[in-house]
Structure 1
């Protein structure tokens, strides 16, 4: 019971933070469902290795039998020979020495064979995780960062949504802030870029979602500022904040206060909002247990999606099809199909605690993460049970799937980020703690596969926004 109370208290605090912001108040092995998830080549290699082990033990067994036969012959000679005691003693001692020596040799050969064979088995399954290292750090937010996103246009821009009531745009190359949006009156809980235009969609605890323009230019002196600040890693926390303040005085980012369009109608905190395929409509998810579909030009509500029993935690739209997934604290996520005029709805029931995120992976798969410490991969053609389950040691937050490689970046409550493929096989590990990685809960991740400097980004309660370079193996 104390554990349940602690969890409830933690989630209550998180809900308050998403609604009003922090300052206002003061994983590893994977497993797959089914009989076996091993690829056929690995199964074949496993059988070959165990076959080799069996042959080695057969040879050892035959040698052991031969040695015992020799010992028996010696024993017979001892029984039939009436030599003097000295000769008998020497023979007995020789027999004992032979037995001891042969036993030692057999023991050593068995150990060597077992060690060599098991090493082969382990090495055959042990895939070296792709090298990953921290390449960028984006500093400036004054509170926990809820979400991070990358623009889909040619300009390399990073967007962040923070509990300090602001959303920021960053230059990925220089790590400098290009602009801030301060139009919301509550915590900014999500940020998403328009698929083709320089537009940004943010959702907030003030019960509104805003559409605003992301027109920024990279100043020519940004690189100089960045080179002058290269020694910040040697400073303590207070000195870093002072250095950051000095940098902001030298380069004041563009500040935007007024949205192009304000979307209203929810009766609770809006946790997330996303662009529908094509960018003509917007979908939102709120604590009022509903999702609203808006016209992105007029701001009018086109449709209201209801059915979840508890608050919604996230929403994600398919990049090319009229499909939406909404996740909820009621332990389910729902697939809404707008391609059918009657709007077909499918409910996915596979988690035991709140579903924190559900995102599309490719044209026909969905990946869901939950506080029950599992990530599940679902095939939209067979939605009764997941095709893969990843079990971890901590609650999962807003995960992301790389568009081309279909690799999952999983952010955890315990400060870690884990990398798995779509089949549930772990393919990478991120640095944790110390000078690299997050020091508090990681809230979200996102991918930018085409970027040459860093292809994955993360954000967390520690106010950090980090850029990583992860070398992924090509998809076979």
Structure 2
């Protein structure tokens, strides 16, 4: 009984120590009235655990008292065997020889019948009582160990719950404080912005008044200038005896050239004239309309070149037909040109200058191979998609996602002409070899032929069902090649705006198509990485190579026409040697390659999405 009381006292003492261990040194700000919700739940759980422990202790005490009473009754009723008592006694004392002698003599007397069990008598009650107490003592010790383990687990669970409670309380308090701070900032910003509304309204009224006054002034000035011009013409006609004719201004497709300041009145008049003469000035792909307008053609319009019979006479025919040199291309240097992805790449026709355009809305010219930036042009409001030098090398053209095509003069260091007419992003642009025409391809499914001299669109090429991704002129001819997302390539006669032939064979969107220098072969690639070669004379496919599964972005011939380079989204440039049918892979930086160009016989340029241009040199 003393041991049971000791165990109960130990359990109650452990419970008391757990109850007094809840200390909270953190000083919290007052957040809300529901702050102690989690603490109340923790205290309830602890009280339930302690109550269950006390109930178990009481049950153990009751069972112990019942076992004592039961054992008291059984002492007088149970007849213990005397031989078992002596055997156990001797075995406990370690008297093995005496035990053997006793068992031999005992069982011998029983077998003879000399001694019976009743003659031996009963085992003393003290011995039986001691055995029972010892058994109960062992049981109580085991229960005490179990209670201690339960108390330890409860204490650990309590500590864990206290830590979680403290963590969630601090997190909740932090969130509430952040919310209050954000609410205060929002109120302050609303008040701050509200203070600007009267100022903005006042400035808007001033701007409208100023614009109205400016327009009135411009109208008066234009009226006065018109009167002065009329008077001067009348005076000259009176003096020289004839009437001087004022030349009529022809308004073409929506394009503007920087010639000086243009006021709002002049701009409004120009837009009115454009709407008035839109039918006469805008281009169309309908041959009947073009035939009707042929007599009303702008005097500044350029003449389309006449296709020569046979193979064109190139200026450097020997250079274009040089035999292919042996050797593999190796990465020689990397030039950082743009901050964002490089989307187009072009070479100067006469000098070692490279032109690149990127997603940073800039075009840059830089020297090859040192990479020194020579000129930077800005003016587009969206990413650049294409660029090309004029054959003379004095000007260049760029296309952009802002739906415009711009012509830049390198000597003036600025944009001299902006061509507008596409309804969606312009995907590519190309300059004709005669230097008088520029072609553009757009995501609106059309291509346009622009006359640089008359500054208007001569033809709109309609026929593709989806986005037109590239456009290119056959050198020294009036034939244009387009590739489209409708999986086809098309040949066009730009003199009449008609489609001559359609190449079909790709099963995915065509991303790019180009001629070789001789003009007898076409290379094209699609979004699944398939590259195809087509015979320009027979209008049939020659070769198809699957370089996928990653998309192929651009293809390019070298001057000899024996090598074809492919810019792949697999972060590599793939070069096909047509003579041996071998496809080699050039691994550079692990980025998507957007464009590729051959530079002479020994160099290859590729540009990717990291804004860098890789220079590859042929190993001898």
Same fold, judged at TM 0.5 (above): yes
Cα deviation digits, residues 247-280 of structure 1 (max 9, x gap): xxxxxxxxx5x41111111101001000122111
Cα drift, residue 466 of structure 1: 1.4
For 1:190 and 1:344, locate their aligned partners in 2 and report how far apart those are by CA, in whole Å.
23
Q: Which secondary structure state, in structure 1, belongs to the residue aligned with residue 512 of structure 2?
A: strand
Asked which structure has the greater CA Rg, the reply is: 2
Specify which of 496, 504, 508 is matched with residue 353 of structure 1. Answer: 508
The yes-or-no answer on 1:317 pairing with 2:317 is no
The yes-or-no answer on 1:445 pairing with 2:596 is yes
* Higher relative contact order structure (alpha carbons within 8 Å, sequence separation ≥ 6): 1
For 1:345 and 1:405, locate their aligned partners in 2 and report how far apart those are by CA, in whole Å.
24
CA shift in 2, pair 1:448/1:205, >3 Å: same
Specify which of 191, 194, 206 is matched with residue 390 of structure 2. Answer: 194
Give the alignment of 1:26-37 within 5 angstroms.
Answer: none
CA shift in 2, pair 1:386/1:423, >3 Å: farther
Cα drift, residue 462 of structure 1: 1.7
The yes-or-no answer on 1:179 pairing with 2:335 is no
Give the alignment of 1:402-421 within 5 angstroms.
Answer: 402-421=558-577
- Would the aligned equivalents of 2:490 and 2:499 in 1 still touch at CA under 8 Å? no
CA-atom RMSD, angstroms? 2.2
Specify which of 403, 410, 433 is matched with residue 214 of structure 1. Answer: 410
For 2:519 and 2:386, locate their aligned partners in 1 and report how far apart those are by CA, in whole Å.
24
For 1:326 and 1:408, locate their aligned partners in 2 and report how far apart those are by CA, in whole Å.
18
Give the alignment of 1:425-444 within 5 angstroms.
Answer: 425-426=581-582, 428-430=584-586, 432=587, 437-444=588-595
Give the alignment of 1:353-392 within 5 angstroms.
Answer: 353-361=508-516, 362-383=518-539, 385-392=540-547
For 1:423 and 1:315, locate their aligned partners in 2 and report how far apart those are by CA, in whole Å.
27
Q: TM-score, normalised by structure 2?
A: 0.46
For 1:461 and 1:412, locate their aligned partners in 2 and report how far apart those are by CA, in whole Å.
12
For 1:190 and 1:138, locate their aligned partners in 2 and report how far apart those are by CA, in whole Å.
20
CA shift in 2, pair 1:440/1:150, >3 Å: same
Cα deviation digits, residues 415-453 of structure 1 (max 9, x gap): 0111113468125432x2xxxx13211001011115xxx
- Would the aligned equivalents of 1:368 and 1:377 in 2 still touch at CA under 8 Å? yes
- Would the aligned equivalents of 1:132 and 1:429 in 2 still touch at CA under 8 Å? no
Specify which of 366, 379, 384 is matched with residue 170 of structure 1. Answer: 366
For 1:441 and 1:271, locate their aligned partners in 2 and report how far apart those are by CA, in whole Å.
18
**Structure 1 residue ranges (4+ consecutive) displaced by more than 3 angstroms after TM superposition:** 341-344
Give the alignment of 1:52-451 within 5 angstroms.
Answer: 130-153=327-350, 155-215=351-411, 256=413, 258-338=414-494, 341=496, 343-361=498-516, 362-383=518-539, 385-393=540-548, 394-422=550-578, 425-426=581-582, 428-430=584-586, 432=587, 437-449=588-600
- Would the aligned equivalents of 2:441 and 2:471 in 1 still touch at CA under 8 Å? yes
Unpaired runs of 5+ in structure 1?
A: 1-127, 217-255
CA shift in 2, pair 1:299/1:424, >3 Å: farther
Cα drift, residue 157 of structure 1: 0.4
- Would the aligned equivalents of 2:448 and 2:457 in 1 still touch at CA under 8 Å? yes
Unpaired runs of 5+ in structure 2?
A: 1-324
Q: Which secondary structure state, in structure 2, belongs to the residue aligned with residue 260 of structure 1?
A: strand
Cα deviation digits, residues 162-199 of structure 1 (max 9, x gap): 00000110111321111111011110111111112321
Cα drift, residue 316 of structure 1: 1.3
How many residues align? The count is 295
CA shift in 2, pair 1:471/1:386, >3 Å: farther
